[in-house]
Amino acid sequence: KERELLVNAIENADNSDIEHVVHILQTVKAFDYTRSKAQESADLAKQSLSNLQDSDYKEALILLCDLSLQRKS
């Protein structure tokens, strides 16, 4: 039933049971997993930038990595 609820919410853009959907995602630690993967990607991006010469553009990209992780929505 939970799977059906999630599939319906995604396929039909149905947010009528949003609290239940959020509860399911919290229970399976989906938010923690997603945040961890986002952190890994940001770290990899910053590591790739370390080879570039220091510049305003490089700093902006690093800041973008950090800001993207701070978003709550």
Domain boundaries, the chain: 2-70
- Distances in whole angstroms, Cα of residue 62 to Cα of each of 41, 65, 68, 69: 12, 5, 10, 11
What pLDDT was estimated at residue 41? 98
Gap between the Cα atoms of 64 and 10, Å rounded: 28
Please give the biggest Cα pair distance in the chain.
53
What is the average per-residue pLDDT within 7-18? Answer: 90
Q: Is the dihedral of CA 10, 15, 17, 22 positive or negative?
A: positive
pLDDT band at 14 (very low <50, low <70, confident <90, very high): confident
- Distances in whole angstroms, Cα of residue 68 to Cα of each of 21, 44, 65: 23, 14, 5
What pLDDT was estimated at residue 40? 98
Condensed to tens digits (0 to 9), the pLDDT of residues 15-71 reads 899 999 999 999 999 999 999 999 999 999 999 999 999 999 999 999 999 999 998
